[in-house]
């Protein structure tokens, strides 16, 4: 079963997306924490490699630090993944039925971008909470998720909850553009699967390549988003995404825009494969046994 098939009813798409999203995040989340630590640090002041970061976090903060801040992204994975796939299907119908656009790689890039922008409006606030909890500089500042929300409201006002949404729109629009565009392109080039296992393998390959390309495209905006959302007191150095990219490149070099890229691509490359495999597997099961 593939995401090009007739869309599932929303409640089943929601369920399949939820299971896929939670499966991916539970498997790959520690790499997200490591990525955030790399993106926040200036230069190589504390962590010299992925392994060094893992070792220092476990030694100094305990194994639980690798899953610090996981509650907000888990709570948002169900609607987030349902929107990622569900909105992509809806935009396919919209652009095809009302604008006469034909399926293909460019079409998939367009629908993916549209789905990504929709997804970004949902995930920006939970991501803000996650970044605040993952930042080592905030260790001991927050007791739990609700304490982060309360602290943001008291110190930054209601507008603080929207901090980083513009960079989040860039991040998700570009990632979904690369992800769905590559899935369409790679699937067309892979040998036709003759078995269920072959379908799963093709999905994993297409999803992994799609996740890798999406990560390559959106990492500079992810770095900016992390910098914007980690700021807790004025004056704020980073505000809008494009100027922030210029500031980081000027002060720290172009390579700083890909800070945390290795742990991120190690998560979102295979993570994209896991996401697509689980979503298609659950969708196929529902189509076969429920509908």
**What confidence tens digit (pLDDT) does each residue in 166-198 have?**
999 999 999 999 999 999 899 889 988 888 888
Alpha carbon distance 201, 27 (integer Å): 18
DSSP structure string for 272-286: HHHHHHHHHHHHHHH
Cα dihedral sign, 156-121-18-116: negative
Q: What is the mean pLDDT of residues 148-167?
A: 85
Highest mean pLDDT out of 28-37, 59-68, 112-121, 152-161: 112-121
The burial class, CB within 10 Å (0-12 / 13-18 / 19+), for 147 is middle
Taking only the tens place, the pLDDT of each residue in 200-210 is 899 999 999 99
**Quick check: 231 and 273 in contact, CB under 8 A?**
no
The burial class, CB within 10 Å (0-12 / 13-18 / 19+), for 225 is buried
Mark 29-38 as b/e (b = at least 16 C-beta within 10 Å).
bbbbbbbbbb
Q: pLDDT class for 4, splitting at 50, 70, 90?
A: very low
Q: Which two tokens stand for residue 39?
A: 């993106």
First and final C-alpha spacing in the chain:
14
Residue 1: the pLDDT is 41
Picking from 279, 258, 263, 262, the residue whose alpha carbon sits closest to that of residue 207 is 279
Q: Is the pLDDT of residue 214 over 50?
A: yes
Alpha carbon distance 1, 85 (integer Å): 14
Alpha carbon distance 163, 86 (integer Å): 26
Alpha carbon distance 135, 280 (integer Å): 35
Task: Give the predicted TM-score (pTM) of the model.
Answer: 0.77
Highest mean pLDDT out of 129-138, 146-155, 168-177, 254-263: 168-177
**Quick check: 17 and 78 in contact, CB under 8 A?**
yes
């Amino acid at each position: 079963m593939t995401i090009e098939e007739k869309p599932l009813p929303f409640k089943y798409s929601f369920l399949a997306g939820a299971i896929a999203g939670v499966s991916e995040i539970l498997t790959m989340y520690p790499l997200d924490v490591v990525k955030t630590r790399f993106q926040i640090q200036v230069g190589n002041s504390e962590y010299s490699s992925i392994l060094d970061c893992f070792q220092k976090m476990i030694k100094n903060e305990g194994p639980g630090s690798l899953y610090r801040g996981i509650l907000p992204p888990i709570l948002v994975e169900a609607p987030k993944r349902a929107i990622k796939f569900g909105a992509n299907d809806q935009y396919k119908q919209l652009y095809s039925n009302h604008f006469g656009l034909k399926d293909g790689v460019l079409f998939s890039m367009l629908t993916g971008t549209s789905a990504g922008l929709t997804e970004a409006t949902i995930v920006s606030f939970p991501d803000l909470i996650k970044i605040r909890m993952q930042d080592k500089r905030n260790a001991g500042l927050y007791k739990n998720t609700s304490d982060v929300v309360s602290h943001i409201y008291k110190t930054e006002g209601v507008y603080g909850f929207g901090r980083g949404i513009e960079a989040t729109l860039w991040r998700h629009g570009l990632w979904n553009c690369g992800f769905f565009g590559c899935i369409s392109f790679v699937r067309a080039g892979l040998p036709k699967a003759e078995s269920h296992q072959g379908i799963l393998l093709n999905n994993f390959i297409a999803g992994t390549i799609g996740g890798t390309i999406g990560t390559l495209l959106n990492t500079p905006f992810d770095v900016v988003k992390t910098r914007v959302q980690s700021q807790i007191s004025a004056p704020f150095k980073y505000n809008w995404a494009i100027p922030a990219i210029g500031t980081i490149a000027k002060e720290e070099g172009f390579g700083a825009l890909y800070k945390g890229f290795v742990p991120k691509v190690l998560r979102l490359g295979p993570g994209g494969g896991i996401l697509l495999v689980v979503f298609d597997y659950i969708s196929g099961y529902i189509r076969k046994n429920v509908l």
